[in-house]
Amino acid sequence: MDLPRRHLANIGDPVKTLDGWDGSIAYLDRDGVLNVGREDYVKSVDEVVLLEGAGHAVAALRNAGYRIVIVTNQSPVHRGVFTHEELADMNQAVLDGLLLENNNAHVDLVLYSPYAPWEHSPVRKPGPGMLQVGRQLLNGIPLEVTTDSSLLSVKISEGRSFMAGDRDADMGAAMQHGVRGFRVDANVGIAGIIERLLDDNDDGDALEI
Ligand SMILES: [Mg+2]
């Protein structure tokens, strides 16, 4: 079974529980949402540039009761562009940058998919696998990945969960996982859409095909 990778931890390591959590998860894409994306990939720590307001937005979502899971496609790992270790440094730079802006901008879990498109992994967005694993880890249930989230053996309420990203792949993952999807303008990042994300009555954006 393909599984996503996890920043500075083994995929099956337990995640801290949180008292009073209602099951709501904010699944956030990384590039173009938290930090500036690049057509040729963010390839080094020097190329990690936080988008203004991203830290405040993450803090606001936590304050609203969401747990925060970054789900990022990182095919350059299997393309041989950079290593898991180099990616870990970049992911850490993103986490540090968020906390530098707002010390409540705590991210619960960072998952990434190292697979290249031709590997057809269900844990590469638009597949729903990374979202499935994020939910399973936060709820402390066995890891299971399927191309169809309705077939998961353990069903758990996702509360107000949503996926926010700048690409069709993000919207597709939201749709396939069965949570609301929000389209982020990559030039602005998550701060540009935070009021909508905090509105529980906003149904999100449809995937345009
Ligand atoms: Mg992106």
Q: Could you read off the pLDDT of 82-112 as tens digits, one per residue?
A: 999 999 999 999 999 999 999 999 999 999 9
Hunting for tokens 């350059």 — which residue is that? 76
CB under 5 Å of ion ligand 1: residues: 29, 31-32, 166
Q: Which fold has domain 5-11+20-197?
A: Rossmann fold (3.40.50)
Q: What are phi and psi of 113, to 5 degrees?
A: -105, 115
C-alpha 200/C-alpha 191 separation (Å) is 17
Indicate if the pLDDT at residue 207 is higher than 80.
Answer: no
Q: Which of 2, 13, 29, 203 is catalytic?
A: 29
33 CA distance to ligand 1 middle (Å): 6
Residue 209, pLDDT score: 65
- Which letter, b or e, does each residue of 102-137 get, where b requires 16 or more Cβ atoms within 10 Å of its Cβ? beebebbbbbbbbbbeeeebbbbbbbbbbbbbbbbb
Q: Which of 13, 22, 31, 185 is catalytic?
A: 31
Q: Which residues touch 140 (CB under 8 Å, ≥6 apart)?
A: 14, 15, 17
List the chain domain ranges: 5-11+20-197
- Active site annotation includes 2: no
Pairing of strands 25-28, 180-183: unpaired
Residue 18, pLDDT score: 87
184 CA distance to ligand 1 middle (Å): 9
Taking the whole predicted model, whether its pTM rises above 0.75 is answered as yes
19 CA distance to ligand 1 middle (Å): 31
Tokens (6 digits) for 54: 């991203």
Residue 205, pLDDT score: 96
- Active site annotation includes 19: no
